[in-house]
Structure 1
Protein backbone atom coordinates (compact mmCIF):
# COMPACT_ATOMS: atom_id res chain seq x y z
CA UNK A 1 0.00 0.00 0.00
CA UNK A 2 1.33 3.43 -0.89
CA UNK A 3 1.85 5.94 1.93
CA UNK A 4 -1.06 8.05 0.63
CA UNK A 5 -3.44 5.07 0.62
CA UNK A 6 -2.23 4.03 4.07
CA UNK A 7 -2.98 7.54 5.35
CA UNK A 8 -6.47 7.46 3.83
CA UNK A 9 -7.12 4.05 5.38
CA UNK A 10 -5.93 5.32 8.77
CA UNK A 11 -8.13 8.42 8.53
CA UNK A 12 -11.09 6.22 7.63
CA UNK A 13 -10.49 4.11 10.70
CA UNK A 14 -8.57 1.40 8.87
CA UNK A 15 -11.54 -0.94 8.78
CA UNK A 16 -14.22 1.27 7.24
CA UNK A 17 -15.74 1.11 3.78
CA UNK A 18 -12.96 3.26 2.33
CA UNK A 19 -10.30 0.72 3.32
CA UNK A 20 -12.38 -2.16 1.97
CA UNK A 21 -12.84 -0.44 -1.39
CA UNK A 22 -9.07 -0.22 -1.82
CA UNK A 23 -8.62 -3.97 -1.76
CA UNK A 24 -9.21 -5.89 -4.98
CA UNK A 25 -12.14 -8.29 -5.00
CA UNK A 26 -11.47 -12.04 -4.94
CA UNK A 27 -10.38 -13.16 -8.38
CA UNK A 28 -8.79 -9.89 -9.46
CA UNK A 29 -5.34 -11.21 -8.62
CA UNK A 30 -5.70 -13.85 -11.34
CA UNK A 31 -6.03 -10.99 -13.85
CA UNK A 32 -3.11 -8.91 -12.63
CA UNK A 33 -0.41 -11.38 -13.61
CA UNK A 34 -1.08 -11.19 -17.34
CA UNK A 35 -2.61 -7.70 -17.51
CA UNK A 36 0.18 -5.82 -15.73
CA UNK A 37 1.69 -2.55 -16.93
CA UNK A 38 3.78 -3.17 -20.05
CA UNK A 39 2.29 -6.59 -20.78
CA UNK A 40 1.34 -7.76 -24.25
CA UNK A 41 -2.17 -8.56 -22.97
CA UNK A 42 -2.94 -4.93 -22.16
CA UNK A 43 -3.65 -3.22 -18.87
CA UNK A 44 -7.14 -3.53 -17.38
CA UNK A 45 -6.88 -0.59 -14.98
CA UNK A 46 -9.05 2.28 -16.17
CA UNK A 47 -10.86 0.36 -18.89
CA UNK A 48 -14.63 0.80 -18.91
CA UNK A 49 -16.45 -1.54 -16.56
CA UNK A 50 -18.92 -2.63 -19.25
CA UNK A 51 -16.05 -3.52 -21.59
CA UNK A 52 -14.44 -5.81 -19.00
CA UNK A 53 -17.75 -7.44 -18.06
CA UNK A 54 -18.56 -8.01 -21.74
CA UNK A 55 -15.16 -9.53 -22.45
CA UNK A 56 -15.43 -11.90 -19.48
CA UNK A 57 -18.91 -12.97 -20.59
CA UNK A 58 -17.73 -13.52 -24.17
CA UNK A 59 -14.81 -15.63 -22.97
CA UNK A 60 -17.07 -17.57 -20.57
CA UNK A 61 -19.60 -18.45 -23.28
CA UNK A 62 -17.04 -19.15 -25.99
CA UNK A 63 -18.20 -16.24 -28.15
CA UNK A 64 -14.67 -14.87 -27.95
CA UNK A 65 -12.07 -17.55 -28.65
CA UNK A 66 -9.10 -17.87 -26.32
CA UNK A 67 -6.50 -20.33 -25.18
CA UNK A 68 -6.52 -19.41 -21.49
CA UNK A 69 -9.04 -16.65 -20.79
CA UNK A 70 -12.01 -18.88 -21.54
CA UNK A 71 -10.94 -21.21 -18.72
CA UNK A 72 -10.26 -18.35 -16.31
CA UNK A 73 -13.55 -16.58 -17.08
CA UNK A 74 -15.55 -19.77 -16.48
CA UNK A 75 -14.37 -19.58 -12.87
CA UNK A 76 -16.19 -16.27 -12.30
CA UNK A 77 -19.92 -15.85 -11.87
CA UNK A 78 -21.74 -12.75 -13.08
CA UNK A 79 -21.45 -10.97 -9.71
CA UNK A 80 -17.74 -11.79 -9.42
CA UNK A 81 -17.13 -10.54 -12.95
CA UNK A 82 -19.00 -7.32 -12.16
CA UNK A 83 -16.99 -6.74 -8.97
CA UNK A 84 -13.67 -7.39 -10.74
CA UNK A 85 -14.64 -5.11 -13.64
CA UNK A 86 -15.75 -2.31 -11.31
CA UNK A 87 -12.51 -2.52 -9.33
CA UNK A 88 -10.26 -2.42 -12.42
CA UNK A 89 -12.29 0.41 -13.98
CA UNK A 90 -11.87 2.45 -10.78
CA UNK A 91 -8.10 1.95 -10.81
CA UNK A 92 -7.76 4.38 -13.69
CA UNK A 93 -9.33 7.19 -11.69
CA UNK A 94 -6.89 6.98 -8.78
Structure 2
Protein backbone atom coordinates (compact mmCIF):
# COMPACT_ATOMS: atom_id res chain seq x y z
CA UNK A 1 0.00 0.00 0.00
CA UNK A 2 2.83 2.41 0.84
CA UNK A 3 4.41 1.79 -2.56
CA UNK A 4 1.16 2.76 -4.28
CA UNK A 5 0.93 5.95 -2.22
CA UNK A 6 4.55 6.79 -2.99
CA UNK A 7 3.94 6.20 -6.72
CA UNK A 8 0.84 8.39 -6.62
CA UNK A 9 2.88 11.11 -4.87
CA UNK A 10 5.64 10.94 -7.47
CA UNK A 11 3.15 11.04 -10.36
CA UNK A 12 1.33 13.99 -8.79
CA UNK A 13 4.58 15.86 -8.40
CA UNK A 14 5.57 15.17 -12.01
CA UNK A 15 2.18 16.23 -13.31
CA UNK A 16 2.19 19.47 -11.34
CA UNK A 17 5.70 20.14 -12.61
CA UNK A 18 4.45 19.71 -16.17
CA UNK A 19 1.64 22.20 -15.56
CA UNK A 20 4.11 24.62 -14.03
CA UNK A 21 6.49 24.22 -16.98
CA UNK A 22 3.67 25.00 -19.42
CA UNK A 23 2.77 28.10 -17.42
CA UNK A 24 6.39 29.25 -17.33
CA UNK A 25 6.69 28.65 -21.06
CA UNK A 26 3.78 30.98 -21.86
CA UNK A 27 5.25 33.59 -19.52
CA UNK A 28 8.63 33.15 -21.15
CA UNK A 29 7.14 33.68 -24.61
CA UNK A 30 5.47 36.88 -23.40
CA UNK A 31 8.82 37.99 -22.03
CA UNK A 32 10.56 37.36 -25.37
CA UNK A 33 7.76 39.20 -27.20
CA UNK A 34 8.04 42.16 -24.83
CA UNK A 35 11.48 42.85 -26.28
CA UNK A 36 9.74 43.71 -29.57
CA UNK A 37 7.77 46.57 -27.94
CA UNK A 38 10.53 49.13 -28.47
CA UNK A 39 9.80 49.24 -32.19
CA UNK A 40 6.56 47.31 -32.64
CA UNK A 41 4.57 48.68 -29.70
CA UNK A 42 3.02 47.09 -26.64
CA UNK A 43 1.51 43.72 -27.59
CA UNK A 44 2.48 44.36 -31.21
CA UNK A 45 0.32 47.48 -31.64
CA UNK A 46 2.83 49.82 -33.27
CA UNK A 47 2.70 53.57 -33.64
CA UNK A 48 2.57 55.05 -37.14
CA UNK A 49 5.75 54.40 -39.06
CA UNK A 50 6.46 50.99 -37.55
CA UNK A 51 5.06 47.58 -38.47
CA UNK A 52 2.33 46.24 -36.19
CA UNK A 53 2.69 42.56 -35.33
CA UNK A 54 -0.64 41.97 -33.56
CA UNK A 55 -2.96 39.73 -35.53
CA UNK A 56 -0.51 39.06 -38.35
CA UNK A 57 -0.54 35.47 -39.61
CA UNK A 58 1.86 33.24 -37.70
CA UNK A 59 3.16 31.77 -40.96
CA UNK A 60 3.88 35.26 -42.34
CA UNK A 61 5.69 36.31 -39.17
CA UNK A 62 7.74 33.11 -39.03
CA UNK A 63 8.74 33.53 -42.69
CA UNK A 64 9.80 37.15 -42.14
CA UNK A 65 11.70 36.32 -38.95
CA UNK A 66 13.53 33.42 -40.60
CA UNK A 67 14.34 35.60 -43.61
CA UNK A 68 15.79 38.25 -41.27
CA UNK A 69 17.75 35.60 -39.40
CA UNK A 70 19.21 34.08 -42.56
CA UNK A 71 20.00 37.47 -44.09
CA UNK A 72 17.61 36.97 -47.02
CA UNK A 73 15.54 39.99 -45.95
CA UNK A 74 17.37 43.30 -45.60
CA UNK A 75 17.07 45.10 -42.29
CA UNK A 76 18.71 47.70 -40.13
CA UNK A 77 18.49 45.73 -36.87
CA UNK A 78 16.08 42.79 -37.24
CA UNK A 79 18.69 40.51 -38.76
CA UNK A 80 20.81 40.98 -35.62
CA UNK A 81 17.92 40.62 -33.18
CA UNK A 82 16.48 37.52 -34.84
CA UNK A 83 19.84 35.74 -34.63
CA UNK A 84 19.58 36.00 -30.84
CA UNK A 85 16.66 33.54 -30.79
CA UNK A 86 16.38 29.89 -31.73
CA UNK A 87 13.98 28.91 -34.51
CA UNK A 88 11.66 27.47 -31.85
CA UNK A 89 11.67 30.74 -29.93
CA UNK A 90 10.91 32.75 -33.07
CA UNK A 91 8.07 30.36 -33.86
CA UNK A 92 6.65 30.84 -30.35
CA UNK A 93 6.95 34.63 -30.58
CA UNK A 94 5.19 34.63 -33.95
CA UNK A 95 2.40 32.52 -32.46
CA UNK A 96 2.06 34.95 -29.58
CA UNK A 97 1.63 37.97 -31.86
CA UNK A 98 -0.69 36.09 -34.22
CA UNK A 99 -3.00 35.34 -31.28
CA UNK A 100 -3.45 39.02 -30.38
CA UNK A 101 -6.34 40.94 -31.95
CA UNK A 102 -5.42 43.79 -34.29
* TM-score, L = length of structure 2: 0.65
Q: Which has the higher contact order (CA 8 A, sep 6+)?
A: 1
3-state SS of the aligned residue for 1:27? Answer: helix
Q: Please report how far the alpha carbon of residue 76 of structure 1 lies from its aligned counterpart in structure 2 after TM superposition.
A: 1.1
What's the Cα RMSD here? 2.5
Are the aligned partners of 1:24 and 1:87 in contact in 2 as well (CA < 8 Å)? no
| Structure 1 segments of 4+ aligned residues over 3 angstroms from their partners | 19-24
Greater Rg by CA: 2
More helix by share: 2
Q: Please report how far the alpha carbon of residue 22 of structure 1 lies from its aligned counterpart in structure 2 after TM superposition.
A: 6.8
* TM-score, L = length of structure 1: 0.70
- Matched residue, 1:31: 36
Q: Please report how far the alpha carbon of residue 59 of structure 1 lies from its aligned counterpart in structure 2 after TM superposition.
A: 0.4
Alignment length, in residue pairs? 78
- Matched residue, 2:72: 63
Name stretches of at least 5 consecutive residues in structure 2 with no aligned partner.
1-18
Name stretches of at least 5 consecutive residues in structure 1 with no aligned partner.
1-14
